[in-house]
């Protein structure tokens, strides 16, 4: 990040995607999600105790713009595993319920039979499992 | 602001043969949930199926349509 580039934000995103095997681009932070969809996605990851990096896209609108250009995906959140887009809130929630999410993340599926998606905290509400995954 | 009916019609027009169900989640015309079942989805991953639906609305997603929650299935 020391040299000036044509598109430093895009390069920073690509670097983050290479660096973190599991990374979530979201509105807000895992402790303070600023959107219900981001909150629900964080809840699914935390329910599996899956370690993940998180990037808040809100501070600069260009992050979202560049991210969507890279991923060809218009909405936030976006979950990437090994640099590949897994999906947004709907797909992640669906995959949590079917057990596919645990498989993709390489973690143990939840002890209970998959079924109900974890309850997401409302935006701004204190999350159930505070856990800082920002790096 | 589009209505749930507008969203449904646009998806059905863009993806011929699709069976579409749309709910306006807030009543405000900017948060929708759509279930789309289409033969055209056969062989597509979930990501590709969702991209196909998002593509119907282009930059409206994230603009006037703040959220379009999707459930998609191949016919």
pLDDT, tens digit, for every residue of A27-76?
A: 999 999 999 999 999 999 999 999 999 999 999 999 999 999 999 999 99
Homologous superfamily, domain A8-105 = Glutaredoxin (3.40.30.10)
Give which of B32, B69, B72, B73 to mutate to test A binding, by max A Cβ within 10 Å.
B69
pLDDT at A117: 60
Block residue for tokens 């681009």: A25
Interface of B with A in 8-27 (CB under 8 A): none
Q: Which residues of B touch A73 (CB under 8 A)?
A: 47, 51, 54
Work out the minimum CA distance from B67 to partner chain A, whole angstroms.
8
Cβ–Cβ of A75/B62 closer than 8 Å? yes
CB-CB under 8 Å, A74 with B61:
yes
The CA angle B16-B21-B25, to the nearest 5 degrees, is: 135
Please give the model's pTM, rounded to 2 decimal places.
0.84
Question: Residue ranges of the domains in chain B?
Answer: 4-74
Give the tens place of pLDDT for each residue, A2-31: 555 589 999 999 999 999 999 999 999 999
3-class state of residue B18 by DSSP: coil
Number of residues assigned to chain A: 135
CB-nearest to B69 from A76, A85, A90 is: A90
Residue in B with minimal Cα distance to A35 = B67
Backbone torsions φ then ψ of A90, nearest 5 degrees: -65, -45
End-to-end CA distance of chain A: 16
Closest chain B residue by Cα to residue A86: B47
C-alpha–C-alpha distance, residues A35 and A124, integer Å: 8
Query: In this predicted structure, what is the pLDDT of residue A47?
Result: 96
Classify domain B4-74 by CATH number: 3.30.300.90
**Residue from the list B50, B54, B62 with its beta carbon closest to the beta carbon of A91:** B50
Selection from A31, A27, A19, A18 nearest residue A60 by Cα: A27
């Amino acid at each position: 990040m020391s040299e000036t580039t044509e598109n430093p934000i895009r390069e920073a995103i690509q670097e983050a995607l290479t660096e973190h095997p599991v990374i979530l681009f979201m509105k807000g932070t895992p402790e303070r999600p600023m959107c219900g969809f981001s909150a629900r996605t964080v809840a699914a990851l935390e329910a599996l105790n899956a370690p993940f990096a998180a990037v808040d896209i809100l501070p600069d609108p260009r992050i979202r713009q560049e991210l969507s250009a890279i991923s060809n995906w218009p909405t936030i959140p976006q979950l990437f595993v090994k640099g590949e887009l897994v999906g947004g809130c709907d797909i992640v929630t669906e995959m949590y319920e079917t057990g596919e999410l645990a498989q993709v993340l390489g973690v143990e599926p939840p002890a209970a039979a998959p079924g109900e998606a974890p309850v997401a905290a409302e935006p701004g509400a204190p999350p159930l499992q505070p856990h800082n995954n920002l790096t | 602001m589009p209505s749930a009916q507008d969203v449904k019609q646009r998806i059905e027009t863009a993806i011929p043969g699709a069976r579409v169900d749309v709910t306006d989640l807030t009543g405000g015309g900017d948060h929708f949930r759509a279930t789309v079942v289409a033969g055209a989805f056969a062989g597509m991953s979930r990501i590709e199926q969702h991209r196909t639906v998002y593509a119907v609305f282009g930059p409206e997603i994230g603009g006037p349509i703040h959220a379009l929650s999707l459930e998609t299935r191949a016919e």
